[in-house]
Structure 1
């Protein structure tokens, strides 16, 4: 059984889905959990119920929004995908520090495949754990925002917030 909670954040409603052990399996800037469940790999997917107690992730989120963006590094995520590169890219993405966004090309280089900028972009697009695996910190080559599943205003807010903290 999965548990989820929606909180009000400065960037809009944020729903977090956790597994049995408290690891985040999906997160996104939406108040509708049904938008998140299909993002979870089928081997990690289950019925979800609302729960006010989704573990320590809430404390880390409070710290993040109070101005300590590194607090999210402590959150355990449970992501799974069939492709080895995307799984590796998600681990690398978690190492991109707040206030230090990278381009898709730089991200591909960090992930060990400098020519694979399209695969790096795909890793961002398929990320089910927004904010905790910070795909918002990856930008187009020209430094523009590119896309973001939860909307460019949310991506801009997150980047501006992290740049000032």
Structure 2
């Protein structure tokens, strides 16, 4: 099964997106090398990459998001798998965190139904393969600081500022 890939220009650099035959995003990240995302895709969902200039609805959603329609990415289907029920549930919960309304890792654990599982919530962010579409950038440390982000704190800072959470910090 072939996986379609594309690069979309953003103010923080290229966003690489990998999508399955049905258009569901399997991985996304702020890198100029789509092939570097393939190890993030569950082995059962991997395949050879085919570069495309445009991924249709996915590309339209990202461009709309960048143009200010912050909910445009919400309707894009995502397909990523793990060995655990909590991880899949946590990723779905992340998709419900609204732009401009970030949560803390503690708050995220609570929203996922396991308030004491703060480390598991942080692990869900760290193992998320579909950056932007599963918005782990919307999770902050308890003190409000950025915490970590696979694609760099400058990217996380820009995304949060774009969504109205940060102003120039």
TM range (shorter): over 0.9
Give 1:127's aligned residue.
Answer: 128
Alignment of 1:12-23 (within 5 A): 12-23=13-24
CA contact (8 A) 2:35 2:49 kept: no
Q: Give the TM-score of the pair, scaled to structure 2.
A: 0.95
Q: Give the TM-score of the pair, scaled to structure 1.
A: 0.97
Question: Per-residue CA shift, 1:1-47, capped at 9, x if unaligned?
Answer: 00100111112110000001010000000011122000000111111
Taking the aligned partners of 1:7 and 1:53, their CA distance within structure 2 comes to 8
Q: Secondary structure at the match of 1:4?
A: strand
CA contact (8 A) 2:128 2:136 kept: yes
Taking the aligned partners of 1:133 and 1:7, their CA distance within structure 2 comes to 17
What's the CA shift for 1:53?
Answer: 3.3
Q: Secondary structure at the match of 2:5?
A: strand
| CA RMSD between the two structures | 0.9
Name which of structure 1's ranges 24-33 and 50-59 shifts more when overlaid on structure 2.
50-59
Taking the aligned partners of 1:117 and 1:2, their CA distance within structure 2 comes to 33
Whether 2:145 is the aligned partner of 1:144: answer: yes
Taking the aligned partners of 1:55 and 1:3, their CA distance within structure 2 comes to 11
CA contact (8 A) 2:4 2:20 kept: yes
Alignment of 1:1-165 (within 5 A): 1-163=2-164
| Runs (5+) with no aligned partner, structure 1 | none
What's the CA shift for 1:151?
Answer: 0.3
Q: Which segments of structure 1 move beyond 3 Å, counting only runs of 4 or more?
A: none
Taking the aligned partners of 1:163 and 1:24, their CA distance within structure 2 comes to 25
Taking the aligned partners of 1:59 and 1:13, their CA distance within structure 2 comes to 15
Name which of structure 1's ranges 101-110 and 2-11 shifts more when overlaid on structure 2.
2-11
What's the CA shift for 1:55?
Answer: 2.4
Taking the aligned partners of 2:36 and 2:111, their CA distance within structure 1 comes to 30
CA contact (8 A) 2:94 2:135 kept: yes
| Runs (5+) with no aligned partner, structure 2 | none
